[in-house]
Amino acid sequence: MSRLFKYVAPLLVVLLVVAGCAAPVAAPAAPAGEAAAPAESGSAAAADLLSEVQARGKLIVSTDPAYPPQSELVADAAPPADTKCSGDEKPANQFTGFDIDTAAEIAKRLGVEVCFVTPDWTLITAGGWAGRWDLSIGSMTITPERMEKLYFSQPYYTTPAAFFVHQDNTTYTQPADLSGKKVGGCSGCTYEAYIDGTLSIPGETIDFVVTDAEFAGYDTDVPALEDLALGDGVRLDAVLTALPTGQGYIADGGPLKQLGEPVYFEYLAGAMDKAAAIDTQSFQDAVNKAIQEMHADGTLKTLSEQYYGTDLAAAGATFDLAALNQ
């Protein structure tokens, strides 16, 4: 009996210490106002995410300010005096970019202030946000893998994939003419899967107009464009890449031209946590409604032209979100 006690007593003590320690670690370090939010989302009493967002008066959006022109930092911007953003959250004026303006516009249409948190991209795509933020506006491509963890919103813009050929070339008039030719692009990207005929994008039917082409893989897109710039057919006959990437290379003096219309679109959408503790359906509906309105009234077109110099948003409006079956 006393032998048993000798073993059990220390365990009980440790349990008490752990229980005692857990509370002070969690509580005092929390800046005022922040500790309350997870507690609310944890309890079953909170109705749904939309009413929680409206009750607290702020929409918390994740962004990684490492990707101009989508999201980048603004130096030495004093936070507005009346901001509701607290703790780790930063008000909108600390950033600039297409994603930032889009998120601010969505929040405005929900009638709340936007606050940003800046976790690593891996933590955003991993899901399981634990109510730390409500929405990701991070130019996230819709993929089947991410759909396991996240709900996607109506796409707010797209990355069109287009073929580029040397400007001296006169024999190719449309993408289909590239069948059997040598096409470069970044390996492991969707471009390689398109040439292989294996590409699948959720919610999109892809028309593989180029067949039997040989794919030359590169680490990134720019070396492929540089090899094509050496001359028509010298190393490559064409490059398949993102429309803004190819257009940017031409704008910087690269001797290339775009061949025909984009062959497919990667849809870039907002994302919401599938593992959220409370109901997110009405919140998803509200975000989708806001994005559709921003497509309809030209807000996204204007923003896209402001940051990318071209309208990348249009195809996002016609995307059939219901086809994702999420």
Partner 1 sequence: MTAPTGDEPGSRTTYDLTKRADQEAYASLLMAQERRRKWMQRTRVALVWVFLVLILWFLFSFLNLDFGYIFQNANFVLLGIGVTIGVSLVSITIASIIALFGALGRLSTNSIFHGMASFYVSLFRGTPLLVQIFIIYLGLPQIGQQISARGFPWLGSLFILTAIQSGVLALSLNYGAYMTEIFRAGIQSVNRGQWQAASALGLSRMQTLRLIVLPQAMKLIIPAVGNQFIAMQKDSSLVSVMGVWEITYRANRFARKDSKYMEMFLLAAAIYWVLTIFSEWLLARLEGRMARSDTR
Q: Considering only the stretches 41-49, 163-171, 259-267, 318-326, report the one whose residues sit in contact with partner 1 under the rule CB under 8 A.
A: 41-49
147 binds partner 1 (CB under 8 A): no
Number of residues binding to partner 1, judged by CB under 8 A = 44
Q: Is the CB of residue 149 less than 8 Å from the CB of residue 275?
A: yes
Using CB under 8 A, which residues numbered 96 to 125 contact partner 1? Answer: 117-120, 122-123
Q: Does 66 sit near partner 1 (CB under 8 A)?
A: yes
* 12 binding partner 1? (CB under 8 A): no
67 vs 215 by CB, closer to partner 1: 67
Residues 238-297 close enough to bind partner 1 by CB under 8 A? 275, 277
Long-range contacts of 66-69 (CB under 8 A, 24+ apart): 67/97, 67/139, 68/97, 69/97, 69/98, 69/307, 69/308
Region of 16-24, 186-194, 238-246, 250-258 interacting with partner 1 (CB under 8 A): 16-24
Nearer to partner 1, 48 or 311 (CB): 48
Would you give the DSSP letter of residue 32?
A: T
CA–CA dist 286, 270 (Å, integer): 12
Residue 299 makes CB contacts below 8 A (sequence gap 6+) with: 105, 293
What are the structure tokens assigned to 228, written together? Answer: 């094509």
Radius of gyration (Cα) for the chain, nearest Å?
25
- Residue 62 CB, nearest approach to partner 1 (Å): 8
φ, ψ of residue 248 to 5 degrees: the values are -65, -40
The yes or no reply on residue 23 touching partner 1 (CB under 8 A) is yes
Across the chain, how many H-helices and E-strands are there?
12, 11
- Please calculate the CA angle 268-62-41 and round it to the nearest 5 degrees: 115
Q: How far is the CB of 209 from partner 1 (least distance, A)?
A: 36
Using CB under 8 A, pick the residue from 1, 3, 4, 76 that binds partner 1.
76
Beta strand ranges found along 179-222 (DSSP E): 182-186, 214-218
Please tell me whether residue 75 adopts helix, strand or coil conformation.
coil
DSSP letter string, 236-294: -SEEEEEHHHHHHHHHTT-SEEEEEEEEEEEEEEEEEETT-SSB-HHHHHHHHHHHHHH
Told to check if 48 binds partner 1 by CB under 8 A, we report no
**Among residues 33, 128, 188, 298, the one that binds partner 1 under rule CB under 8 A:** 128
Interface region with partner 1, contact rule CB under 8 A, candidates 71-79, 175-183, 286-294, 304-312: 71-79
Please give the Cα distance from 38 to 281 (Å, whole number): 19
Which of the stretches 24-32, 168-176, 235-243, 306-314 binds partner 1 when contact is defined by CB under 8 A?
24-32
CB of 38 to partner 1, least distance (A): 4
CB-nearer residue toward partner 1: 14 or 234: 14
Q: Which pair of tokens denotes residue 103?
A: 């998120």
Least distance in Å: CB of 25 to partner 1? 6
Shorter beta-carbon distance to partner 1: residue 20 or 253:
20
Q: Work out whether 55 is an interface residue with partner 1 (CB under 8 A).
A: no
Residues at the interface with partner 1 (CB under 8 A): 6-7, 10-11, 14, 17, 22-23, 25-26, 29-30, 34, 38-39, 42-44, 62, 64-68, 72-73, 75-76, 87-88, 90, 117-120, 122-123, 126, 128, 130-132, 275, 277
